[in-house]
Amino acid sequence: MKKFLSLLLITTGLFTGLKAQIYDPVKWNTSVEKVSDSTFYLVTTATIQSGWHLYSQNVPDGGPIPTTFTYKTNQQFELLEKTTEPNGIEIDDKVFDMRIKYFEHEAVFKQLVKIKNADLSVIKGEVEFMVCDDKNCLPPTIQDLEFRIKEGSAVSETISTTKTPKGTDTSKRGLWSIFILSFLGGLAALLTPCVFPMIPMTVSFFTKQSKNKAVGFRNAIIYGISIIAIYVLLGTVVTAVFGADSLNALSTNVWFNIIFFLLLVIFAISFLGAFEIVLPSSWGTKVDAQADRGGVIGILFMALALAIVSFSCTGPIVGTLLVEAASKGGIAPIIGMLGFSLALALPFGLFAAFPGWLNSLPKSGGWLNTVKVTLGFLELALAFKFLSNADLVLQLHWLEREVFLAIWIAIFGAMALYLFGKISLPHDTPNGSISVGRFLLGLATLAFTIYMIPGLWGAPLKLISGFPPPLKYSESPYGVGFSKSTTSDNSNHNGLPDGAHYGPHDILAFVDYEKGMTYAKEINKPVLIDFTGHACVNCRKMEDYVWSDPQVLDILKNQVVLISLYVDDKRELPLSEQYTSEETGKKIKYIGQKWSDFQLKNYKANAQPFYVLINHQEEMLIEPSAYNPDIQTYIDWLKGGISKF
């Protein structure tokens, strides 16, 4: 009867807001590219269904399951280097509190191999991967791969080679963010003591030395374009020297993060007034001499002279922007320098076209140094993000969340005092009063500092999510003075029931189906089966944003028995419990595979999150539910099932 009812529900499509189906959004193809007589590329192409994304090989610990290639090595060939992958799309994932890279539409992976035996015809391997869309995540899947080496046996004709993934639209959004950030950095550089005074001087030079207004305007435009060309060339050199793919790989490297932490600290100390970072004076002298040549060449050298003379102010900003762009990989350094230089060059063209606007510019003064010092505080705060990245990768627990927040509170607190005029630094102009703008900025900084203080006691601080280490990476994961809750109705039993633990929001949960069912029968409550995964993004979203609702939480703690079955649990089953799936024909070796097969067999679905309310006879009380961020709909679903128990 149970099987008949399940089949009826599936075939008639009565699942509320859910189409029970088996997803298969990734297709894999293999081919071989010959490099020389003894070296080849093993090429694996993933074709990804629209709306889904495949995760990178390089995902930090605690994040989604990375794509992992394994080649069945033997004495007949040797693996050279690591498997390469495309640039992909990077986001700061707020659920996992980390930077995550993934691919859309298509991803091509290449592994360089050296063949030692000329008779070798086939190399075998496998890829383990995980895919998600906006609502579902699939459990980790292993796909067998086969590469035919001998001439005539390759399958490269089935793979589109130079195709550009449609997912670059999202990638472009990442580049737009770099461009905008860099443009703002260029505007900030304009307001430093090294650059701002140069605007009226340079524009006046072009307007007075030119034969007429049109020529002056043209020369100013050439000057601006020259500035853009110089900085874009810098971004191009950075990309060319390190390589587009290498920059992205470096961004997750421990030494990369430590080195840039030190660089940003040096930049910050320079901006605070301890010293100035300047290029050799001989460079400026030689460039100035060339600028006297006149014409387009002379204007180009004038732009280069500006870059050299203003380096003590622009260098730290440019360096910081290049660090951020490097973490994106690809052509991001070029795009970053384009945005920065465009902002830097724009005033020269505008004021040359409209010289009268120069009268509206504020006069140079101590406020320029205030801007420079403020940027120094911001660079110092950003530096600790890179040190935190290194600490997280190494799991040293030296810079846990509380320590990180204490440092940021100290930095921004000192910045507020500086803006209020309570602290003075080298190169500051003595001033009896402060401007209204400086006062308001000081108030905003003070408010931000106060906002961070509760984070020391476990507040989530959503405004800066992604900057501090995650909540779990702290001295007190549940907040200072707090631990696992023991106040729910479930805790009335002597200790935890056999096989139970405290899950999200301290909900009593089981990870063993049989033990959970036994407990449900003992206390006479219905069962909520939660098909989930440790690396399931959408499962975490449901737990964070839906399960945290007071009404939902009350139901989960007091009206049902929660059984969470993790489909990506990689613990191996005892040999006596391993079997071959009737649904897929694959060997079931791991606990996660067992629960995934259980879901597929009983509910004809393979995506997570997936929720099933059942009674003690294992019959569904209501149609299953999947990812549903609408809290009231989820509450109605829970109540509808419980009412039929």
- pLDDT tens for 348-382 read 777 766 666 666 666 655 667 788 888 889 889 88
Which run of H or of E encompasses 250? helix 244-250
Predicted pLDDT of residue 397: 80
Specify the pairing of strand 141-148 against strand 500-502. unpaired
Q: What pLDDT does residue 360 have? A: 64
Residue 7 has pLDDT above 70, yes or no: no
CB 629 within 8 A of CB 546: yes
Phi, psi at 154, each rounded to 5°: -70, 160
DSSP 544: I
Q: What value does the mean pLDDT take over residues 169-174? A: 48
CB 604 within 8 A of CB 20: yes
Confidence (pLDDT) at 551: 92
Q: For the residues 377-403, what does the mean pLDDT come to?
A: 82
584 phi/psi in degrees, rounded to 5: -110, -20
Q: What is the mean pLDDT of residues 598-614?
A: 89
Both structure tokens of 454: 């509760």
Q: Which helix (H) or strand (E) holds 26?
A: strand 26-34
Q: What mean pLDDT do residues 211-223 have?
A: 73
Whether residue 521 has pLDDT greater than 90 = yes
pLDDT at residue 364, rounded to an integer: 58
- What are the CA-CA distances from residue 65 to residues 94, 101, 110, 536, 596 (Å)? 16, 11, 20, 9, 15
Give CA–CA dist 112/604, Å, rounded: 40
221-236 per-position pLDDT tens digit: 887 888 888 878 877 7
> Buried b / exposed e across 327-345, counting CB within 10 Å, b at 16+?
bbbbbbbbbbbbbbbbbbb
DSSP code of 642? H
- The pLDDT, as a whole number, for residue 355 is 66
Per-residue pLDDT, 563 = 94
Backbone angles phi, psi at 498, to 5 degrees: -60, 125
Q: Can you give the length of the chain in residues? A: 645
* Cβ neighbourhood burial of 161 (10 Å; 0-12, 13-18, 19+): exposed
The per-residue b/e assignment along 387-411, b for 16 or more CB within 10 angstroms, e otherwise, is: bbbbbbeeeeeebbbbbbbebbbeb
Higher pLDDT, 354 or 540: 540
Residue type, 624: P
Residue 619: the pLDDT is: 92
**3-class SS string, 548-617:** CCHHHHHHHHHCCEEEEEECCCCCECCHHHCEECCCCCCEECEHHHHHHHHHHHHHCCCCECEEEEECCC
HEC per residue, 474-513: CCCCCCCCCCCCCCCHHHHCCCCCCCEEECHHHCEEECCH
pLDDT of residue 197: 65
260-302, pLDDT tens digit by residue? 788 888 878 887 877 766 555 555 555 555 555 556 676 777 7
Q: Which of 201, 227, 192 shows the shortest CA–CA distance to 340?
A: 227
DSSP-based three-state secondary structure for 103: strand
What three-state secondary structure class fits 115?
strand
Helix (H) or strand (E) holding 200: helix 198-209
Instruction: Compute the mean pLDDT over every residue in the chain, rounded to the nearest whole number.
Output: 77
More confident of the two residues 385 and 529: 529
Considering only residues 201 and 75, tell me which one the structure prediction assigns the higher pLDDT: 75
Tokens of 146: 């086969």
Q: Which domains does the chain have, with CATH numbers?
A: 26-166 (2.60.40.1250), 170-394+402-451 (no CATH), 489-642 (3.40.30.10)
CB 589 within 8 A of CB 578: yes
Q: How confident is the model at residue 6 (pLDDT cuts 50, 70, 90)?
A: very low
Regarding predicted confidence, which is higher, 377 or 317?
A: 377
Residue 253 — very low, low, confident or very high, per pLDDT cuts 50/70/90? low
Asked whether residue 406 carries a pLDDT value surpassing 70, the answer given is yes
Largest CA distance in the chain: 97
> Tell me, what amino acid is at 102?
Y
Helices and strands (H, E) in the chain, number of each type: 18, 18
Q: Does residue 609 have a cis bond before it (omega within 30 degrees)?
A: yes
Q: To the nearest whole percent, how much of the chain has pLDDT over 90?
A: 18
**Model confidence pTM above 0.85:** no
Q: 43: pLDDT confidence band, cut at 50, 70 and 90?
A: very high
DSSP 398: S
Distance CA 238, CA 333 (A): 7
